Amino acid sequence: MVWGSELWVLSGYKDRLSKVASGPYAGLDINSLVAKEKERLLGKHVYAACGDEFPLLVKFLDVHDKLSIQVHPSEELAQKRHGAHGKTEMWYVIRAEEGAELIAGFSQKITPDEYVKLVAEGRITDVLAHHSIAPGDVFFIPTGRVHALCEGSYIAEIQQTSDMTYRIYDYNRPGLDGKPRELHTELAKDALDYNLYDSYKTPYEHRADADIELARCKYFITSVIDLHKPLVKDVASLDSFLVVMCLEGGGLVKTGEEVEEIKADQCILVPASADSVRFEPGPQGMKALLSHM
């Protein structure tokens, strides 16, 4: 990418479908697996809502330069305009260089017409809220919230299965093809949330060897585990798959008789048919995000 690189570790998005790495379904893409296993993989309520498309997209983003200033339309607006999903997402900061920051929300109240004028004049960054970041910081980015990652960070991202983005400002830089990237000023005008909020960073209390909830919305529920001893999580009561996204360290993930090793930057998908999951950290511990619907 213009700004760095990203690894789509679990994706049901068309043209970028993840494939099963091992076992009897090795080589099968994720949406074909969903079509075969249906509610056994996704859970009854999830499959009823999502059908044969895996509903979450999880990534690791290695950010070396500023991303474009952007906003994602709501589910309703994206369906109306494009027949596509909206893009609610969240960020977990894995690593951050000294002085690293990100952008989320406006720093002062503006009107839609003022927004258009500021973009035209190249001054939209003057009214954006900048946040210093450190490892472990969490930012929930609902649709409508203006946002951008900045250089010097390594980020875990969990989002709806969508690539629906309105690009507002891109620092007048060329894309990988040498041409300016398209801006969506007018489309974004009606998609933006112009309200100001007291806080944009998600507060939570870190506790070792516990399952700590970070984000809960219509599209995903995400928690973090930081383990130095085994932990068992009930899955049967969720009626949902469980995505395990390893951030640091590694270890074993066990469901019934199945055992898989996991390490940083890897992902394991636990089916809804599992009763429980046992996490056994290795010598360096295991830090991971757990997401379900």
Cα dihedral sign, 234-215-152-207 = negative
**Structural domains present in the chain:** 4-189 (2.60.120.10), 211-292 (2.60.120.10)
pLDDT attached to residue 1: 86
- Is residue 229 a contact partner of residue 212, using CB atoms and an 8 Å limit? no
Query: Phi, psi at residue 276, to the nearest 5°?
Result: -155, 165
Element (H, E) at 261: strand 258-263
Q: What angle do CA 245, 253, 231 make, to 5 degrees?
A: 95
The CA distance from 55 to 153, in Å, is 26
The answer to whether residue 207 is catalytic is: no
Q: How many whole angstroms separate alpha carbon 159 and alpha carbon 176?
A: 25
Contacts of 107 (CB under 8 A, 6+ apart): 127, 128, 129, 130
User: How many Å apart are CA 108 and CA 101, to the nearest integer?
Assistant: 18
Q: What are phi and psi of 37, to 5 degrees?
A: -95, -20
Query: Which of 40, 95, 167, 278 is the catalytic position?
Result: 167
Closest CA to 168 of 106, 109, 217, 77: 106
Kindly tell me the burial class for residue 121, based on how many C-beta atoms sit within 10 Å of its own C-beta (0-12, 13-18, 19 or more).
exposed
Question: For residues 260 and 268, is the Cβ–Cβ distance under 8 A?
Answer: yes
Instruction: Tokens for 159, please give them.
Output: 């989002």
- Return d(Cα 47, Cα 284) in angstroms, integer: 36
Burial status of residue 279 (CB atoms within 10 A of its CB: 0-12, 13-18, 19 or more): buried
pLDDT recorded at residue 207: 96
Are the C-beta atoms of residues 71 and 192 closer than 8 Å to each other?
yes
* Rounded CA separation 143/158 (Å): 13
**Taking the complete model, does pTM exceed 0.75, yes or no?**
yes
Q: Reduced to 3 states, what is the DSSP secondary structure of residue 32?
A: helix
> What is the pLDDT, as a whole number, of residue 121?
94
Sites in the chain below the pLDDT cut of 50: none
Residue type at 56?
L
How many Cβ atoms from other residues are within 10 Å of residue 207's Cβ? Answer: 11
Model pLDDT, residue 290: 98
Residue type at 21 in one-letter notation: A
pLDDT confidence of residue 24: 87
- Residue in 218, 181, 224 with CA at minimum distance from that of residue 205: 224
Please report, for residues 52, 55, 99, 124, the alpha-carbon distance to residue 130 in angstroms, rounded to integers and kept in the order given. Answer: 39, 30, 11, 13
Side-chain-facing half-sphere of 26: CA atoms under 13 Å: 4
